[in-house]
């Protein structure tokens, strides 16, 4: 234990802070220092239970520790009760492996999974005793880096991060660490290292770029100010996922986490092209693992962890080309050991009786589907590619296979949405309930339950809807009332309705499409006590309102404003491989209600399959 018992006994869950999990890596930091090695603190800016459920953390933890010259250790955002005890006792943020303060590390690396965690990034740096601003750090300070999906618009955090890594870390993180070790042996200094790595694909050093703004607040120019900084930073990724690194072990927490299960990554990318989905574009092209590789990985993870559930993760697992051979084979191996199989990303138009039966042999939970929009008109505009007939048929097959609980995900506030589209959401849920009662009485052994979850649309960078304005808070609330009113008329007690906090979604949109001027807003919110802003019980909208006002910025300018195609976007210097021309074409097709076929049927010409893409 790295903290005195008197501190640990005053906090809610001491197990968050003591490490010693099953399969934790142990190395000798003093030996590592003698050999000129590197210490890397992997930081997840959320609570331990959330971070330990993240597959990317598991992959990078073992990937980095496979290097003899590197020790990767972990740190998570301390819950407010622990933060208070740490500040009262002058304790610095530490790693779980050794308990050493993070300021002693060479790198402090953050994974950015959600915009609302940004204030936690600042809080963790402050607790670590590290200067918040990159410009204030000296040669002896850790290098602060960040990656993950939110890093594709790095600008709101540009003032605080030394460099961003854009892409999948297995490709270039190794060369970055090699350069750091070489740089250290030559005592070249911090600036020289940042100059050297700025030529590595996927590396973005914010200090080497200048943004100039027009009188109306839009960007006039965004240009490199250093000769080694590329005009466009290209995302990197392993082209052959089957041979890409995947750990043979996983860390097994000693306390309950958000997802207590082993996770196998079936493939990356998505061929569907839903126009609101950032992940579907930033992880293109689709890259699969072979079925035999996945079976071997599943066996290894279950053996080393003792988990009783294994989850098949991808953006659309039912699109896996070897699905019909792999899932039955996996079920055959897992069923005798009573290991359940979870398919969290199943498309309702891709279910069949055999698949449902295999999964249900050991699993008794609920199925999750995401129609996204209630009406066929709006589903066509967002390119969801689902008809009502396919949705109801998928539900029927699930019910016939013995499932009686289904969770449905929808969005409100999508571009071109009407009141009829909103009312179609509860109507569709009602039809799914009716589908259940069309089964023979003997097949309806348990009451049906449909959990209807409605999120607020957030326009994200690198999607066809990146130019769209978001609904106001009042508009979102009115649409939620329409759904509630329609549900009361339907009188379907089997439907349980939940919805997201609209105010939080507005802040999320502002940060998602923000420029580097939002750094002042983040700093203000953090100084005012903003912590765990993604958690409903800690979210404080008033802090954000005041911070935007004090910075002289308009929240609606970032979240609610529809942008014109010629406008320079804060992320235009990032090249994910999918062309801007393609996004414009997709946005135009959305307005006309035209669909684009998925990549397995026909190429849409996005550019992702050409190495480096098109700018």
Domain boundaries, position 196: 5-234
SS3 content of the chain, % helix, strand, coil (to 5): 40, 15, 45
Report the pLDDT value the prediction gives residue 351, as an integer from 0 to 100: 66
Report the pLDDT value the prediction gives residue 402, as an integer from 0 to 100: 84
The Cα 166–Cα 147 span in angstroms is 6
Alpha helices in 401-455 (DSSP H): 419-436
Query: Looking at residues 394-401, what average pLDDT do you find?
Result: 88
Tokens (6 digits) for 505: 């979604």
- The arrangement of strands across the sheet holding 203-204 comes to 70-76, 38-44, 107-111, 143-147, 163-165, 203-204
Q: Is the pLDDT of residue 363 over 80?
A: no
User: Quick check: is 169 in a domain?
Assistant: yes
Report the pLDDT value the prediction gives residue 445, as an integer from 0 to 100: 86
Query: Looking at residues 293-310, what average pLDDT do you find?
Result: 94
Instruction: Give 137-149 as a 3 state SS string.
Output: CCCCCCEEEEECH
Short-list 16, 25, 26, CA closest to 75: 16
Report the pLDDT value the prediction gives residue 612, as an integer from 0 to 100: 39
Tokens (6 digits) for 57: 């953390």
Report the pLDDT value the prediction gives residue 12, as an integer from 0 to 100: 93
- Tell me the pLDDT of the chain averaged across its residues: 93
User: Quick check: is 350 in a domain?
Assistant: no
Query: DSSP secondary-structure letter at 136?
Result: G
- Dihedral angle over CA of 569, 573, 577, 581, nearest 10: 40
HSE toward the beta carbon, residue 481, CA cutoff 13 A: 6
Which residues on neighbouring strands pair with residue 452, listed in sequence order?
Answer: 408, 497
Q: Which residues of 460-496 are buried (b: 16+ CB within 10 A; e: fewer)?
A: bbbbbbbbbbbbebebbeebbebbeebbeeeebebbe
CATH number for the domain that contains residue 178: 3.40.50.2300
Tell me the per-residue pLDDT of 518-570, one tens digit each, with 9 for 90 and over.
999 999 999 999 999 999 999 999 999 999 999 999 999 999 999 999 999 99
Report the pLDDT value the prediction gives residue 476, as an integer from 0 to 100: 97
Tokens 């021309």: give the residue.
581
Tell me the per-residue pLDDT of 500-521, one tens digit each, with 9 for 90 and over.
999 999 999 999 999 999 999 9
Of 23-27, 342-346, 390-394, 571-575, the range with the lowest mean pLDDT is: 342-346
Cβ proximity of 225 and 210 under 8 Å:
yes
Four-residue CA torsion sign, 54, 57, 60, 65: negative
User: Quick check: is 181 in a domain?
Assistant: yes
The Cα 116–Cα 45 span in angstroms is 10
Four-residue CA torsion sign, 271, 276, 277, 282: positive
Short-list 577, 567, 584, CA closest to 218: 567
Which residues on neighbouring strands pair with residue 473, listed in sequence order?
Answer: none
User: Quick check: is 383 in a domain?
Assistant: no
The band of 27, judged by pLDDT with boundaries at 50, 70 and 90, is very high
- What is the percentage of the chain residues whose pLDDT exceeds 90? 82
Query: Looking at residues 332-348, what average pLDDT do you find?
Result: 84
User: Quick check: is 261 in a domain?
Assistant: no
- The total of structural domains in the chain comes to 1
Contacts of 267 (CB under 8 A, 6+ apart): 241, 286, 287, 288, 289, 314, 320
Query: Looking at residues 492-501, what average pLDDT do you find?
Result: 93
Query: Looking at residues 305-324, what average pLDDT do you find?
Result: 90
Task: With residue 509 as reference, give the H or E element that holds it.
Answer: helix 502-512
Contacts of 24 (CB under 8 A, 6+ apart): 96, 97, 251
The band of 324, judged by pLDDT with boundaries at 50, 70 and 90, is confident
C-beta neighbour count of 424 within 10 angstroms: 23
Report the pLDDT value the prediction gives residue 3, as an integer from 0 to 100: 79
User: Quick check: is 44 in a domain?
Assistant: yes
DSSP calls for 283-334: TPSPEE--HHHHHHHHHHHHHHH--SEEEEESS-GGG-TTHHHHHHHHHHHH
127: left (phi over 0), alpha (psi -120 to 50) or beta: alpha
Size of the chain in residues: 615
Tell me the per-residue pLDDT of 222-237, one tens digit each, with 9 for 90 and over.
999 999 999 999 999 9
DSSP calls for 141-195: SPEEEEESGGGGS-GGGTTT-SEEE-B-TTTTHHHHHHHHHHHHHTT--HHHHHH
Helix (H, G, I), strand (E, B), or coil: what is residue 42?
strand
Contacts of 188 (CB under 8 A, 6+ apart): none
Q: Is the pLDDT of residue 611 over 70?
A: no
C-beta neighbour count of 137 within 10 angstroms: 16
User: Quick check: is 174 in a domain?
Assistant: yes
How far CA 409 is from CA of 96, 371, 453, 467, in Å, comes to 36, 6, 5, 23
The Cα 380–Cα 71 span in angstroms is 49
**Pairing of β 309-313 and β 340-342:** parallel
Report the pLDDT value the prediction gives residue 615, as an integer from 0 to 100: 30
DSSP calls for 345-357: T--GGG--HHHHH
Q: Is the pLDDT of residue 257 over 50?
A: yes
Q: Is the pLDDT of residue 21 over 70?
A: yes
Q: Is the pLDDT of residue 147 over 70?
A: yes
Q: Is the pLDDT of residue 613 over 90?
A: no
- What is the percentage of the chain residues whose pLDDT exceeds 70? 96
Contacts of 15 (CB under 8 A, 6+ apart): 48, 253, 254, 255
User: Quick check: is 411 in a domain?
Assistant: no
The Cα 543–Cα 522 span in angstroms is 10
């Amino acid at each position: 234990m790295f903290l005195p018992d008197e501190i640990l006994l005053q906090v809610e869950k001491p197990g968050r802070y003591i490490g010693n999990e099953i399969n934790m890596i142990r190395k000798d930091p003093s030996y590592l220092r003698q050999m000129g090695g590197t210490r890397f603190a992997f930081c997840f800016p959320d609570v331990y239970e959330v971070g330990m459920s993240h597959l990317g953390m598991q992959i990078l933890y073992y990937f980095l520790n496979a290097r003899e010259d590197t020790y990767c250790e972990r740190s998570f955002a301390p819950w407010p009760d622990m933060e208070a005890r740490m500040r009262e006792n002058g304790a610095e943020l530490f790693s779980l492996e050794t308990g050493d303060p993070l300021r002693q590390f060479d790198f402090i690396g953050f994974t950015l999974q959600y915009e609302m965690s940004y204030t936690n990034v600042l809080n963790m740096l402050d607790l670590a005793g590290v200067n918040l601003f990159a410009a204030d750090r000296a040669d002896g300070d850790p290098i602060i880096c960040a990656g993950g999906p939110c890093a594709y618009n790095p600008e709101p955090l540009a003032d605080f991060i030394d460099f961003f890594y854009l892409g999948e870390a297995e490709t270039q993180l190794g060369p970055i660490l090699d350069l750091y070790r070489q740089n250290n042996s030559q005592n070249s200094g911090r600036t020289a290292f940042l100059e050297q790595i700025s030529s590595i694909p996927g590396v973005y050093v914010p200090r080497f770029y200048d943004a100039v703004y027009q009188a109306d607040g839009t960007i006039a120019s965004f240009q490199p100010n250093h000769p080694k900084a590329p005009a466009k930073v290209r995302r990197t990724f392993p082209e052959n996922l089957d041979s890409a690194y995947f750990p043979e072990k996983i860390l097994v927490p000693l306390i309950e986490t958000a997802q207590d299960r082993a996770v196998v990554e079936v493939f990356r990318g998505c061929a569907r092209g839903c126009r609101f989905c950032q992940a579907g574009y930033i992880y293109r092209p689709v890259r699969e693992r072979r079925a035999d590789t996945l079976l071997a990985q599943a066996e290894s993870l279950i053996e080393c962890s003792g988990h009783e559930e294994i989850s098949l993760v991808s953006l659309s697992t039912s699109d896996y080309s070897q699905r019909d051979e792999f899932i039955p084979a996996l079920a055959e191996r897992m069923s005798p050991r009573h290991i359940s199989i979870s398919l969290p990303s199943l498309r309702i138009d891709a279910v069949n009786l055999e698949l449902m039966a295999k999964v249900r042999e050991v699993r008794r939970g609920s199925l999750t589907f995401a129609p996204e929009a209630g009406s066929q008109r709006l589903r066509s505009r967002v390119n969801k590619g689902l008809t009502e007939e396919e949705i109801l048929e998928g539900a029927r097959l699930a019910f016939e296979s013995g499932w009686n609980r289904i969770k449905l995900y929808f969005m409100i506030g999508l571009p071109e949405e009407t009141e009829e589209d909103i009312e179609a959401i509860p109507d569709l849920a009602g039809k799914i309930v009716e589908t259940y009662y069309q089964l023979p009485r003997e097949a309806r052994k348990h009451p049906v339950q449909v959990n209807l979850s409605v999120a607020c649309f957030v326009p994200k960078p690198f999607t066809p809807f990146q130019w769209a304005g978001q609904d106001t808070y009042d508009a979102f609330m009115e649409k939620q009332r329409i759904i509630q009113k329609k549900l009361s008329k339907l009188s379907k007690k089997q439907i349980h309705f939940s919805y997201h906090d609209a105010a939080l979604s507005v802040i999320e949109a502002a940060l998602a499409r923000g420029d580097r001027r939002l750094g002042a807003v983040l700093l203000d919110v953090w100084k005012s006590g903003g912590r765990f802003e993604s958690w409903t019980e800690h979210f404080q909208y008033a802090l954000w309102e005041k911070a935007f006002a004090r910075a002289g910025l308009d929240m609606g300018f970032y979240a609610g404003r529809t942008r014109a195609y010629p406008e320079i976007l804060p992320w235009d210097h990032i090249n994910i491989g999918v062309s801007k021309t393609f996004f414009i074409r997709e946005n135009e097709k959305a307005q006309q209600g035209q669909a684009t076929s998925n990549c397995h049927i026909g190429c849409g010409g996005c550019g992702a399959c050409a190495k480096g893409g098109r700018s």
